[in-house]
């Protein structure tokens, strides 16, 4: 009875996380399709510039946050979106896709570590073992999800460093944004940080389009809308609200399911073969999530 009473309030936010897990997971193969028509920086810029008007609509009728809070949201937008997303795009181009995926998968590890430091959320050895187990499973998945992926090419140090910088930046955005989302709501925090982040992306868009003119088709335009509205607007709102209702270690652990969705979708879209290591990796990921979400011996 006690355990049921404790877990029941967590069921709704956990169920809500299913949407961003699927949406964010599908964004990986869809982004690959869109990159046929867009440069990587152009795609990032269009994603947030298209999302900007919808974020503005969500702010109608809401009071303007204090200047200090706005400055903090602007800083977080630059950190998590401009630095995080641009570093990831450039890093992926400079290193192998498999290595980049594994490095990017460290975001939940950094989220849990930063949450323990800044939010004082308890973290136990079992939780770290779970997250590391999931990371091992993800490594198996990403090196077996597509033909030739098992023979990983040596990654360049610069590309690895950029993807790692992206993972740290995005994790900091999630954790530091928690306090702002608590005081001013997840919608306000996500909207203002994204609006501030969209401004520096405009000259990046102009520069890359001037160097590489774009001729997007209907599919690529649809993918931009998907990334802007579902991945960015809806996904960020659900994620920040989940952080308010769930321990960070549980919310972060569920992110390991996203690459599984992405690899499975890639197999369907691009005809990649799924081999035995993928199944083993999937089992490790699910086991890791179970460990990272466990309450621990002292939980009541």
Q: Which of 26-35, 57-66, 238-247 has the lowest mean pLDDT?
A: 238-247
Q: Which of 265-274, 281-290, 291-300 has the lowest mean pLDDT?
A: 291-300
**SS3 assignment for 167-206:** HHHHHHHHHHHHHHHHHHCHHHHHHHHHHHHHHHHHHHHH
Cα angle 184, 113, 235; round to 5:
45
pLDDT at 184: 86
Q: Is the pLDDT of residue 160 over 50?
A: yes
Backbone angles phi, psi at 71, to 5 degrees: -65, -40
Contact call for residues 242 and 13 (beta carbons, < 8 A): yes
**What tens digit of pLDDT does each residue of 181-203 get?**
888 887 888 889 989 999 888 99
Instruction: Quote the mean pLDDT of the chain.
Output: 78
Tell me, what DSSP letter sits at residue 156? P
Q: Is the pLDDT of residue 169 over 90?
A: yes
Q: Which of 24-38, 47-61, 90-104, 276-290 has the lowest mean pLDDT?
A: 90-104
Q: How far apart are the first and last CA of the chain?
A: 12
How far apart, in whole angstroms, are the C-alpha atoms of residue 115 and residue 240?
14
Q: What percent of the chain has pLDDT over 70?
A: 79
pLDDT at 5: 44
Sorted by where each begins, the domain ranges of the chain are 16-292
Tell me, what DSSP letter sits at residue 105? T
pLDDT at 96: 64
Other C-beta atoms lying within 10 Å of the C-beta of residue 19: 14
pLDDT at 68: 93
Q: Is the pLDDT of residue 232 over 90?
A: no
pTM: 0.74
Q: Which of 7-11, 80-84, 172-176 has the lowest mean pLDDT?
A: 7-11
Q: Is the pLDDT of residue 271 over 50?
A: yes
pLDDT at 88: 82
């Amino acid at each position: 009875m006690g355990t049921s009473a404790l877990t029941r309030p967590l069921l709704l936010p956990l169920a809500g996380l299913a949407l961003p897990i699927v949406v964010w997971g599908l964004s990986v193969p869809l982004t690959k399709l869109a990159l046929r028509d867009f440069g990587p920086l152009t795609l990032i810029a269009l994603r947030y510039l298209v999302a900007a008007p919808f974020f503005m609509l969500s702010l109608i009728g809401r009071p303007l946050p204090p200047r200090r809070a706005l400055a903090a949201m602007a800083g977080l937008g630059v950190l998590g979106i401009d630095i995080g997303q641009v570093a990831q795009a450039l890093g992926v181009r400079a290193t192998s896709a498999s290595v980049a995926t594994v490095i990017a998968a460290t975001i939940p590890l950094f989220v849990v570590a930063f949450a323990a430091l800044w939010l004082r959320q308890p973290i136990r050895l079992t939780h770290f073992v779970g997250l590391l187990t999931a990371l091992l499973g993800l490594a198996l998945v990403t090196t077996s999800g597509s033909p030739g992926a098992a023979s990983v090419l040596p990654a360049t140090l610069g590309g690895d460093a950029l993807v790692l910088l992206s993972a740290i930046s995005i994790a900091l955005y999630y954790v530091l944004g928690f306090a702002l989302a608590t005081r001013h709501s997840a919608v306000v925090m996500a909207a203002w940080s994204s609006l501030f982040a969209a401004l520096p992306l405009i000259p990046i868009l102009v520069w890359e389009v001037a160097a590489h003119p774009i001729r997007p088709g209907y599919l690529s335009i649809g993918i931009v809308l998907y990334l802007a509205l579902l991945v960015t607007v809806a996904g960020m709102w659900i994620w920040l609200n989940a952080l308010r209702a769930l321990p960070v270690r549980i919310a972060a652990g569920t992110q390991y399911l996203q690459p599984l969705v992405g690899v499975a979708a890639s197999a369907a879209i691009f005809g990649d073969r799924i081999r035995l290591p993928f199944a083993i990796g999937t089992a490790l990921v699910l086991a890791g999530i179970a460990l990272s979400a466990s309450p621990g011996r002292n939980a009541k």
